[in-house]
Structures are given as structure tokens and as C-alpha cells.
Amino acid sequence: MNRSIFRPGSIPWRSALKFLLPVAIIIGWEVLAIILDNQFILPRLESVFAVLINPFSGELTFGSGSLVDNAIISLGRVIAGFLVAAVLAIPLGIGMGRSSIIHELFDSFLQLLRPIPPLAWVPLALAWFKIGLLSMVFIIGMGAFFPILLNTLDGVKGVKKTWIEAAEILGAKERQILSRVILPGAAPTIWTGLRVGFGIAWMCVVAAEMMPGTNSGLGYLIISSYNFGQVPVIIAGMVVIGLIGIGFDYLFKIVEQRSFAWRELER
């Protein structure tokens, strides 16, 4: 009986498994840092922690602003770019999903733009919008736009024909079909698009903040710390980026489970 606890597949063993690699990496890191003894290549864990446990301090980052300040600035930019992308992509996706004319009109153009990575827009963004919030919003928006659009399109196309017909027979007008059938029917897939889009937007902001002339945000913090030779701050910044990314993904997932449980049950 006791032996079963240690058998692969039993719960305690399995839940320990996912901590195995992080713990090994942390130990390996510390050992390697001691052996190398070069804080510009691999700083000791303690020095990274020292930055992380003082997230409100501007001193440890040598005047580049505290972790929290920069994180808030980055988040603000992401939310702005993400909202712009969502406001454009969701109606367009619904239109393309519902009307073959709109689909024909936009499809080839969008297919052409889609493979272009958001960061390839950096030079044009700088030329058009100069350095500042607008060009960052543009790049972030570019990143978030396509996942939201494609998922919205998928969601609208996935709305069952009998739902629409049943609604028509129950007396729904075209507008009511849109708001009471298409939108709620496609909502879980649209939400997935928003989740993926937010993740990409978050990656884009960090890259956008590395553009020349930027003087705030987590991306800026990392680049400026590199210039000051502050590797612990670079790593601390990366950890914060990762944690915020996980945190938002988790929030999106919670809403998904609460609001769209019906899709899980759908056969």
C-alpha cells in the first residue's frame, strides 16, 4: 500500500515533479555562479533577490525607476494597445464571420500582414508616430490584433446554424441574432483570442520599450541596466515580466472557467 505513493502517477509524486526542474535550475545556477565568480555574466541568486524584495526602491536600479513603477508603466501601455486591438479586431472578426463580402474584402490584405512580426513595424512606427506612447500602442496593437481577429472569426463561424434558425423562428431580428446568439455563442472563442492577444501584447511592450529614446517601462529597465552592467536588475526585471504574464493569463483563465463553463460541457 505504502509503495503506491511513490509510484509515478500517484498524486504526491506527480505534484512534486513540476517543482523538480525549477529547483534544479536554481541550485545549478547558484553553484555555477559561485564557480564562475563573475557577476557580469551570472550574478549570485542573493543579488537578484535583493532587487526583487525591494520592488519599490529606485536606488537598486540606478535611477531607472523602481520595478513597480516601471511595471505599472508597461502595463498601462499594454492595456492601451490591447484595447485598441480588441476594439478593431472583434467587430471586424464578427463582420468577416457573418458576411462573405466583408470576408472577401479584407481577407487577402490581412493574410499579407499576418506573417509580419510586430517588431518589424518598429522603424515605420517611429517614422509615423515618433518616439512615444503612440508608436508603442501601434506595435502592441499589431501584436494583439491577429490572435483576437482570428479567434473571433473562428468563434463566429463555429456558432451552430440551428441556434440561429431557432432564434429566427422565435422572432429574433438580425440585430438581436447578433447580440443574443452570435456574440454569446462565439464569446468563449473570442475570450481565448483575447487571452492569447494579451500574452503577445505583453511580449511586444517589453520589446517596444527597448526602442531608442524610451525612458521608462520594464523593457527600458532591462536595457538601461545592461548599459550600467547591472545583471541582477536585468534578471529581476525578467522575473517580473514572467510573473505578470503568468498572473494575467491566470486571470483570463479564471474568467473563462467561470463564465464559459457551458462550452466545457458541450458535447
List contacts with another protein (CB under 8 A).
Answer: 160, 162-163, 165-173, 176, 180-181, 184-185, 187, 260-263, 265-267
122, 168 Cβ separation under 8 angstroms: no
Closest approach of another protein to the CB of residue 98, in Å: 18
Beta carbon nearer to another protein, 133 or 166: 166
Beta carbon nearer to another protein, 29 or 260: 260
Q: How many separate helices (H) and strands (E) can be counted in the chain?
A: 12, 0
Query: What b/e readout covers 149-183, taking b as 16+ CB neighbours within 10 angstroms?
Result: bbbbbbbbeebeeeebeebeeeebeeeebeeebbb
Rounded to whole angstroms, how far apart are CA atoms 194 and 93? Answer: 12
Beta carbon nearer to another protein, 140 or 186: 186
Closest approach of another protein to the CB of residue 163, in Å: 6
Beta carbon nearer to another protein, 21 or 265: 265
**How much is the CA Rg of the chain, to the nearest whole Å?**
23
Closest approach of another protein to the CB of residue 199, in Å: 25
Closest approach of another protein to the CB of residue 48, in Å: 46
